[in-house]
Amino acid sequence: MEKLNDKELLQLIKTDVKGFNAYREEYPNQKIDFSDDNLYKAYLEDANLEGANLYKANLRWAYLRRANLVDANRTDANLTGANLVDANLTDANLTVINLSNASITLTKDNLEAIKGCML
């Protein structure tokens, strides 16, 4: 698979999470930047978003069950109503985000990650 830019990766994750994850395995050092992007109601179950920049991303009502969000920057992201059940939020930057109506598994790491969020 050839290297993709952020716009192409956004289209890929919206249509084929398994393909996106396979791409991440092939290009593990590529920085993913979905800042300001619209992922409203996106089906992202099991998505590997480790280290991704999701600054101000619209993730309202996104399905992020079991997603890997380790070290992801989600400053000012909108996660209203998002499903984060069993998502890994270890070391995720969740500064100033809206988690109202979101579903989340409360593990020790996830509790640490959501400190200061609007619930």
Domain CATH for 76: 2.160.20.80
Q: Which structural domain, as residue segments, surrounds residue 50?
A: 1-119
Pick the range with the lowest mean pLDDT from 55-64, 79-88, 109-118: 109-118
Question: How many domains is the chain partitioned into structurally?
Answer: 1
Contact partners, residue 58, CB within 8 Å, separation at least 6: 37, 38, 39, 40, 77, 78
* Residue 76 zone, left/alpha/beta (φ > 0; ψ -120 to 50; rest): left
Q: What is the pLDDT of residues 28-50, one digit of tens each?
A: 999 999 999 999 999 999 999 99
